[in-house]
Amino acid sequence: MKISQLECLLFDFDGTLFDSESVIYETWLNVFKSYGHDLPLETYNLCIGSDFKQWSPQTHLEELTGETFDWDAINTERQIIIESTLNKNSELIDGTKELILDLIALKKLQPLTIGVVSSSTHRWVDQWLEKNNIIQHFDIIICRDDVTQLKPHPEPYLLAMSKLNAAAHKTLVIEDSINGAESAHAAHAHVAVIPNYITRINTFPDYCSRYETIAKFRHSLELPSHTEV
């Protein structure tokens, strides 16, 4: 959709603005391999954009092995690896920051709100947005702490639009996962998907407009030239 048709843009976080999903997947893959099993991307995608109530790698591994595990210990070690790896390169996905700054400039010319809607915690999302000095540019950030039901349920996007007083037919959601796309669609918003290394194997529903990069999505918005950085 053209930016002139919109009044609100809502971005998913992990895998859409920030390349965290590949690192998280690698830690899970290593856990599975240490017990002699693979974790295909087709299977892992079942939980992308949601939580382990949708599909759980923990339950899956226990079913494969017939064993039970100390998940507190395993996940603590995984989290240390994840944050250590991401702290070495905590920048947002290429083109993301430039797009957000373009949208901020455009707010001087037309009514526009922008937000982040994530199934992760505020602690997780906020720290990376702060490291990139961009958190102050979002009108709203909705995380799992703020809702009772996560994507693919529409509650996260419905809450964001309600708080921003944004009409669904003038709202565009930018996602990377099927769970996220289903959540946005159920909230009656328009949906664009920008798949990443983990989610690009998916066939997204017909209601999604698919773009292979942030740059191609940005071009589709037809931003006024004088707002571009």
pLDDT less than 70: residues of the chain: 225-229
Question: What is residue 222's predicted lDDT score, i.e. its pLDDT?
Answer: 94
Q: Count CB neighbours of 211 within 10 A.
A: 17
- Give the chain's domain count: 2
106, 70: one domain: no
Domain end: 88, 105, 133, which one? 88
pLDDT for position 226: 52
Q: How far is CA 34 from the centre of its chain?
A: 28
**Domain C-terminal end among 88, 106, 137:** 88
Same domain, 222 and 152: yes
Helix (H, G, I), strand (E, B), or coil: what is residue 221?
coil
- My answer on whether 114 and 9 are in the same domain is yes
| Per-residue b or e along 39-76, where b marks 16 or more CB atoms closer than 10 Å to that residue's CB | beeeebbbbbbbeeebbebeebbeeeeeeeeeeeebbe
Q: Are residues 96 and 153 in the same domain?
A: yes
Q: Give the single-character DSSP code of 92.
A: P
Quote the domain boundaries for residue 54: 21-88
Same domain, 139 and 172: yes
CATH classification of the domain holding 120? 3.40.50.1000
Instruction: Kindly list the strands in the beta sheet with 171-175, ordered across the sheet, starting from the edge strand earlier in the chain.
Output: 140-142, 113-117, 8-11, 171-175, 190-193, 208-210
Please write the tens of the pLDDT for every residue from 151-183.
999 999 999 999 999 999 999 999 999 999 999
